[in-house]
Each structure stands twice: as structure tokens, then as C-alpha cells.
Amino acid sequence: MVVLRFVSGTIEIRGLPEETTLLAASCAWDPRTACHRCPAVDYAQVIRALVRSNTPYEDEARRYVELDGGLRVRREPRDYQLQALEAWTAQQGRGVVVLPTGAGKSHVALLAIEQKHRAAIVVAPTLDLVRQWYDLLRTGFGGPVGVVGGGEHEVAPLTVTTYDSAYLHMEHLGARFGLVVFDECHHLPSEAYAFAARCCLAPFRMGLTATPERSDGREGILEELIGPLAFRKDIVDLAGEYLAPYETVRITVELSVAERAEYEAARRTYLEFVRRHGIRMASPTGWSDFIIRAAQSTQGMAALAAHRRQRQLAFAASAKLDCV
């Protein structure tokens, strides 16, 4: 009998010979524990392989429960929201839904949670969004909602967490949810957040975003972590009928003299460190290389602080508020 267990964000597969063609390439023999092992994200793939081959197995990995009820308040979904849900369902409940801000991405996720009827965790980038999701889940389903992050650690069949807290805790919580929703999933491809996604065994996975493209080109990793693109409507597709007509106007402002001087000094500290250590920030591993090197010295920590400060100055120039 093959036995599956969830251990620290991985799936242990016991009962198969070391040499087997049954499992995917991500499953490797672990001589330390004398079993095959793969990232938890591949749980569904392992189950499908065992079912296809008629291999009897005992699943001790999944620890998630079924939800007690569905949505208490029913709001008629818009046509494109139903299309998004149907497209995601057709991909075995895995994939990315791209809709513009204001188009109701969160409602698609609520419908998915109701459809799959499994314990679900929503991962959001900020505490403000965690609070919004907490209210949506609590009013939508009526039961208790757990929160992990911002000083709280309460886990329930419906739970909300930040990306940072998911990175810290998913290797312990990853077996407790059958569906994971990544809000603003364009954040996910960073090394730390991708680790959290790999530690979650949820067979059903949904990513929500208005802008999946990233400047570093790492959006391709979303297919591995969540699933392929399931549905996409851009703002031009919905403007005028579902969203207000709009016009994009870019307004530039100048840093003050003091801000410019501080910005240049911070950027110089950051760039000198990067160049001195031969780090190519444009490469797929550039950011993680920078973080690893920065953590090894006081100069590195200063470079990391300088990088953060230059971004703060650029994104929050005092002239922006004056202009508004």
C-alpha cells in the first residue's frame, strides 16, 4: 500500500520502489527517509498518477475539511464572472483569472469556494486586503474566519493571511486547505512567496490579478504555482458596459532638492554594493542573489536599506500629494 504524508511543506510517498516511472519528475528519492518526496504543490498530480495506474494508496497527507454551508447572500454574477468560473473549473480548478480593478475578482473567488466546498485560505499582499477578505468571507459564509498575520494566528476552515505570513507558516498549514486563492498573484513569483505556494498541497488553486505581467518576466512561474491562465478580460473589454469609460493620464512630478540628494545617495550605496559583488539584477535570480549577499555583512544590510529608501522616495515624493 502506497502511503502519502504531508511533512514540512512536502509530500512523502512511501511504498514505491526507488526506481519507478509512476511519479512525476518533481518526485525524487530521498535517501534520508527512504521514500519519494515532492513539493506539496504537486499533491494533486501525485494523486492523479496513482489513480491512473490503479495503484492503491492511503492518503494521510490531506487534512482539510468540507465547509458546512454555501454563500448566505446570493448576488447574481455578471456574465464574465460566470465565464471565468467555468473556465477555471474546466482546468480542474486551477489557474489565473485576470480582471481589471472593480470588475469583481473577489466574487469569482467566493463562487469558487462555494463550488469546491473545501476549507480555503486566501493569501493577500497587505493587511488592508486581509481585512477586506475577512469581511467578505465572514458576511458571505457566516462562519468564523481565521486570520494569520498582523499579530494574529487563528486558523479556521476559512482563513486569510498575508504573503509574508504564508511564507513563514505554510509549511505547517499547507495540508489544512483544499483551495488556495492568491489575491494580486503577480506578487507570487518572488522567491520567498513562491516557496509558500509550493508548501501548500491544495489541489484547487486560483490566482487573481489585474496585471499578471512583471518587469522581471517571472510571471511564467504562475503556471507551476497556480495553473495556466484560465480567463482574461482587460479594462478595455469591460469599459462602457460594466466599468465606467476611462482615460489614462500620466502626470510626472519632481523630487525636492533634499529628496533628490537623499535618493541619489541611497541609490549610489545600493548600486556600488551590487556592482562590487557582480550581481545581475536583471537575471531571474538577481533579487534573491542580492538578498543572500546583503544578509552576510553590515555593508549589505546598508545596501538593502538604501534600496528600500530610494524606492520610498520615488513612490512617495512629497510633490505627489501637493499635485493631488
SS (H, E, C) the chain: CEEEEEECCEEEEECCCCCCCCCCCCCEEECCCCEEEEEHHHHHHHHHHHHHCCCCEEECCCCCCECCCCCCCCCCCCHHHHHHHHHHHHCCCEEEEECCCCCCHHHHHHHHHHHHCECEEEEECCHHHHHHHHHHHHHHHCCCCEEEECCEEECCCEEEEEHHHHHHHHHHHCCCCCEEEEECHHHCCCHHHHHHHHCCCCCEEEEEECCCCCCCCHHHHHHHHCCCEEEECCHHHHECCCECCCCCCCCCCCCCHHHHHHHHHHHHHHHHHHHHCCCCCCCCCHHHHHHHHHCCCHHHHHHHHHHHHHHHHHHCCHHHHHHC
Q: What is the pLDDT of residues 248-285, one digit of tens each?
A: 888 999 999 999 999 999 999 999 999 999 998 877 67
Q: What is the pLDDT of residues 36-90, one digit of tens each?
A: 999 999 999 999 999 999 999 999 999 999 998 899 988 899 999 999 999 999 9
- Percentage of the chain exceeding pLDDT 90: 75
- Percentage of the chain exceeding pLDDT 70: 100
pLDDT on residue 122: 98
Under a CB-based contact definition with an 8 Å cutoff, are residues 147 and 160 in contact?
yes
pLDDT on residue 233: 94
Residue 191 has pLDDT above 90, yes or no: no
Bridge pairing between strands 28-30 and 35-39: antiparallel
Residue 214 has pLDDT above 90, yes or no: no
Residue 118 DSSP symbol: B
Average of pLDDT values for 95-120? Answer: 96
In the predicted model, what is the mean pLDDT of the chain? Answer: 92
Split at pLDDT 50, 70, 90, the class of 160 is: very high
Q: What is the pLDDT of residues 234-250, one digit of tens each?
A: 988 998 888 888 788 88
Domains along the chain? 2-59 (3.40.1170.30), 79-238 (3.40.50.300), 257-323 (no CATH)
Counting beta carbons within 10 angstroms of the beta carbon of residue 1, is it exposed (0 to 12), middle (13 to 18) or buried (19 or more)?
exposed
Average of pLDDT values for 99-114? Answer: 95
pLDDT on residue 119: 97
Rounded-to-integer distance, Cα 165 and Cα 159, Å: 12
pTM: 0.79
Residue 12 has pLDDT above 90, yes or no: yes
Rounded-to-integer distance, Cα 149 and Cα 151, Å: 5
Residue 215 has pLDDT above 90, yes or no: no
> Buried b / exposed e across 58-78, counting CB within 10 Å, b at 16+?
ebebbebeebeeeeeeeeebb
Phi–psi pair at 21, nearest 5 degrees:
-100, 5
Under a CB-based contact definition with an 8 Å cutoff, are residues 153 and 142 in contact?
no
Split at pLDDT 50, 70, 90, the class of 180 is: very high
The Cα-based distances of 203 to 34, 75, 208 in angstroms read 25, 27, 17
pLDDT on residue 183: 97
Average of pLDDT values for 141-162? Answer: 94
pLDDT on residue 281: 84
- DSSP H helix total and E strand total for the chain: 12, 13
Residue 100 has pLDDT above 90, yes or no: yes
